[in-house]
Amino acid sequence: MSGREIVCEDLNLAIDDLKRQGFRLDVIYPADEPATALLTKGDEAVRVRIPAAPPLPDGLPAFRPEFVLTRAVTSAGQGRAGMLYRDLIPGRLGGRYIASHITIPEGGPVADWVHYHRVALQVIVVRRGWVRVVYEDQGEPFVMNQSDLVLQPPLIRHRVLESSPGLEVVELSAPALHETFADHKLELPNGENPQRRFAGQRFLRHVADGAAWTRFRGGEAQETRLSDGTGGVAEARIVRPGPALEISFAPHRGELTFGFVLDGSAKLGAEPLGAADAFAIPPDQPWSLQEMSADFRLLHVTTARLDAAA
């Protein structure tokens, strides 16, 4: 296949121009702020990139922990398929993790396509509204509502079909920089094989409505079984206040401890937390939540050491 490269200032304009010439989009990255794309037509391939396009990492970048606190007032940028992405871990912890607060303001059909990612971990949780999605070997399309979660295993084909106006989701992935590959041949839905493994992980769908709340470190939590789906790579839960005035967390022995405030307010030590704020806690550090409002809800995700889990 012959190839050439185009360096441009506006990636979207260049992609649209090539599509008008009959090219199809095969690869684009990163999803939150696309900088590089590969398009093909027959035996011809064109790589398009902006001048400052970041290079793809060689393997999984080394984890570099730090305390992160990202406020809801940070701005969002235009991502792929018309989605708006707000960066929740700007330093990316050495390139190991990316977390995004993604919104679709208008709603309706989404300009998405069947695609997949080469990732070690990818989790999506709905904060507001609803979204209709479809996944390889998981049957008919289904709707995700508030606080629902899915684990997207590595390489699973999927597509976002439509959403409510004002949809908001939180997406957490490792590594931070990864490609979105189009699959032009597979049509979804394609049947059911719910026990299929993708690179050692199994698709997981957590439906929040009706799920049990159990005691958790002085508060209450709705568990998601993410550890089962990932083979111990990650855990996730929704946390809310309980009978105690404080929820205390022991030091985490793995890598990431990530929190996103779905609703309400609290204090993280001396730091006030509000709705849509996010934070990351370095390993081996205890932490706690105090002064939680009655409507406080926190998405709490932890990961094992990904190198050891690989």
* pTM for the model: 0.95
User: Does residue 233 lie within any of the structural domains?
Assistant: yes
User: Does residue 54 lie within any of the structural domains?
Assistant: no
Q: Give 310's pLDDT tier (boundaries 50, 70, 90).
A: low
| Residues 137 and 254 occupy one common structural domain | no
Q: What is the pLDDT of residue 79?
A: 67
Across-strand partners of 289? 247, 268
> What percentage of the chain exceeds 90 in pLDDT?
91
The per-type count for the chain, helices as H runs and strands as E runs, is: 3, 30
Q: Which helix (H) or strand (E) holds 266?
A: strand 266-268
Q: Which helix (H) or strand (E) holds 159?
A: strand 158-163
Give pLDDT tens digits for 127-147. Answer: 999 999 999 999 999 999 999
Report how far residue 61's alpha carbon sits from residue 53's, in angstroms, rounded to the nearest whole number.
17
First-residue to last-residue Cα distance in the chain: 33
H runs (alpha helix) in the chain: 11-20, 226-230, 306-309
User: Does residue 125 lie within any of the structural domains?
Assistant: yes
71: left (phi over 0), alpha (psi -120 to 50) or beta: beta
The residue behind tokens 């590089």 is: 36
User: Does residue 155 lie within any of the structural domains?
Assistant: yes
Please give the residue range of the domain that contains residue 11.
Answer: 2-49
**Structure-token pair, residue 301:** 């995700």
Q: What is the pLDDT of residue 31?
A: 87
| Residues 11 and 107 occupy one common structural domain | no
CB 121 within 8 A of CB 303: yes
3-class DSSP assignment, residue 73: coil
Specify the CATH number for the domain of residue 84: 2.60.120.10
How many angstroms from the chain centroid is the CA of residue 302?
14
pLDDT: which is higher, 256 or 74: 256
Counting Cβ atoms within 10 Å, is residue 141 exposed (0-12), middle (13-18) or buried (19+)? middle
User: Does residue 65 lie within any of the structural domains?
Assistant: no
Report how far residue 203's alpha carbon sits from residue 229's, in angstroms, rounded to the nearest whole number.
6
3-class DSSP assignment, residue 15: helix
| Residues 77 and 170 occupy one common structural domain | yes
1: pLDDT strictly greater than 70: no
